[in-house]
Amino acid sequence: MRAFRPLLLAVSTLVAVSANAAQETVKPSEFMVASANPLATEAGLEILHKGGSAVDAAIAVQTVLTLVEPQSSGIGGGAFMLLHNSQTEKLVAYDGRETAPMGATDALFLKEDGTAEKKRDVIPGGRSAGAPGVLRMLALAHEENGKLPWADLFTPAIRLAEEGFAVSPRFHFMTDLYKERLRPDGFLAYFYDEQGTPLPVGHIIKNQPYADTLKLIAEKGVDVFYEGEIAEDIVAAVQNAEINPGVLSLDDMKNYQPKKREAVCAPYRTWKLCGMPPPSSGGIAVLQILSLLEGFDLASLDPASPEAAQLFLEAARLAYADRATHLGDSDFVHVPIQGLVDPAYLAERRTLIEQGKVMDDAPAGTPPGAKTAWLTKQPGEIPATSHFSIVDNSGQTLSMTTSIESAYGNRLMVRGFLLNNQLTDFTFVPRSESGPVANRVEPGKRPLSSMSPTIVLDDQGRPVMTLGSPGGPLIISFVAKTLLGVLDWNMPMAEAIARPNLFPYGKAAIIERDTELMSEKEGLEAMGYAVREGGLASGLHGIIIHYGESGGRALEGGADPRREGTAEGR
């Protein structure tokens, strides 16, 4: 095994608003947290310092992110979590994805003439809201893996909500960017002053309604969110929304259940890569990209070269083609999960990649076990998601990606937190010329996602990396790019994260603007690509676990310099 060093669908136009450089941290550590906000990272560390598990810390991190990064995730949304327990040697995928109300139909986002509504028109209001899943998912994971009492895990977020936190540069940037879209939707006083100006960086915000919400959940347990007064307020906000009232019901809230699923895993060189199965497309697509590239000697290439970029882009095109054809909620449609990561199938697909040349067409394949081509064609997503990675000192390694979908979700605030608009992740038109669309709206169904929490195991079955990112469909390319940086080019985590992002859009190569890769534009154009610049604002957060010969270990974290997160260990 190679030793680690001590170590469009939618193209985002967001720019990094923090000059925070990603700090590489390589030191003997008992535990580590890498998250999108320093206050969330500190909350996780506080819980770990008290003897909590990675799952305990995740609850603290998520509840603080809901407060300090409300545009990206929250208890009104959903999440996917991968958890590896070294003591049991088990890897579990926890599915906390939102579900469509039982009153929803496949015409949810269709006009009277049968054509699709515009996504931007149906995001605000109640129609886009699914039953939130993140809290019940965390409660299930805590029941099985927690060490500290449930109530103790909400203390950091309650304290911050009551005492206040300072508006960060990204918080201010996002409220300024979205002010015209947020103003009609009823929670101006929280984000803006009396003149409608976004609150300045450093302004102290308090959120007593959110503190009171968390106190109820901490005291009475998670069911108060799904069956009690909080659920009643959520349903009332959705059904009585001034814009696009929805059909989410108290029964939808009460009956929501998280799911434990089998992680999808595949070998890559000397490692084993594991990700989320459907309803996420991310795990399969990331594994496909790396498996397709396994037949090429990437280590011999300059990672910043057009030759390396071309191989990545072509592998990604093939993976995205399969994603758009075969993926959906596997509880509702047949998904050939093992066929999509089958080595023989991917070896055949690899022959379509010709070094130094762009494919005229990157078709979907027919993996073993495929019964039909479902044609997913998921609508573009606005990147408004968050990811955090945690390693504790009791054997738990955690990777969790969490989202309310679009920035500020459906723009409805209830008891101090925002609700999701995840139903707009369904494909709006339910049928194509070839038949039903896999990702069409159905009652109780979970919309397809691109979230890609990832854990890498070494040849001894030990976890050596936890990683993930926000970014809509671009998440897949962000995570794959970073994995290659660490595994093939032996980069430290922070360096691999900071590498230029790139994304294929047909025969176009979307390259992160103002990066060294843009200097290779002519080389990529000579291969046949139309090169375009894009913001490609990832929010990657990851941790590498280094094992010593004597049995000790060191933890190395990285946080994306494009945002304001931190990676810290103690």
Mark whether 385 is an active-site residue.
yes
Sole residue written with tokens 């969790």:
400
Q: Is 257 helix (H, G, I), strand (E, B) or coil?
A: coil
Long-range contact pairs involving 425-428 (C-beta distance under 8 Å, separation at least 24): 425/378, 425/379, 425/381, 425/449, 426/100, 426/108, 426/109, 426/379, 427/376, 427/377, 427/378, 427/379, 428/108, 428/109, 428/110, 428/116, 428/117, 428/119, 428/379
Q: Is the N-terminal amide bond of 336 cis, ω within 30° of 0?
A: no
CA distance 12 to 323: 20
Half-sphere exposure of 378 (CA within 13 A, CB side): 33
Amino acid, single-letter form, for residue 292: L
Query: Which one of the listed residues 63, 213, 385, 466 is annotated catalytic?
Result: 385
CA distance 91 to 106: 35
CA distance 518 to 510: 10
Q: Is 435 helix (H, G, I), strand (E, B) or coil?
A: strand
The 10 Å Cβ neighbour count of residue 445 is 23
CA distance 562 to 500: 11
Q: Is 388 helix (H, G, I), strand (E, B) or coil?
A: strand
**Catalytic amino acids?**
385
